[in-house]
């Protein structure tokens, strides 16, 4: 009986604490929203904008070239391991009639 009463009191204390903290944080967050200034973007000059656009374009072009090379090397490895049966346009060895690289595999490569 005593344990049940203690649990009920503990539950009511937790509910009261939770309600109080919820009210405190909701009021403090409303005050923070009112105190924050509205963001006004500063104007950027045209040369800075052009330089940023050129840098982004260069980074995109390099990423596309890197991804293309990775894909071609993966397809070349698959070609030499005879993993694809049909002709794939991105595979350098499928496009050319003779492979450009000769691979020599040993038993240690497959362990």
Per-residue pLDDT averaged across 63-89, rounded?
89
Is residue 96 very low, low, confident or very high in pLDDT (cuts 50, 70, 90)? confident
Contact by Cβ (8 Å): 93, 100: yes
Per-residue pLDDT averaged across 57-76, rounded?
93
Residues 6+ apart with CB under 8 A from 80: 93, 99, 103
Residues 6+ apart with CB under 8 A from 99: 79, 80, 93
The pTM of the full predicted model, rounded to 2 decimals, is 0.46
For the stretch 27-52, pLDDT in tens is 766 666 666 667 777 777 888 889 99
Is residue 26 very low, low, confident or very high in pLDDT (cuts 50, 70, 90)? confident
Is residue 6 very low, low, confident or very high in pLDDT (cuts 50, 70, 90)? confident
Does the pLDDT value for residue 93 go beyond 70?
Answer: yes
Q: How far apart are CA 80 and CA 45, in angstroms?
A: 53
């Amino acid at each position: 009986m005593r344990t049940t009463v203690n649990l009920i009191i503990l539950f009511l204390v937790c509910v009261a604490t939770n309600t109080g903290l919820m009210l405190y944080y909701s009021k403090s967050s409303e005050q923070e929203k009112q105190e924050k200034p509205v963001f006004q973007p500063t104007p950027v000059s045209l040369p800075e904008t052009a330089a940023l656009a050129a840098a982004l374009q260069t980074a995109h072009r390099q990423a596309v070239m890197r991804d293309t090379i990775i894909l071609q090397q993966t397809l070349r490895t698959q070609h030499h391991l005879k993993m694809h049966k049909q002709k794939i346009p991105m595979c350098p060895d499928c496009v050319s009639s003779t492979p450009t690289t000769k691979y020599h595999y040993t038993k240690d490569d497959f362990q």
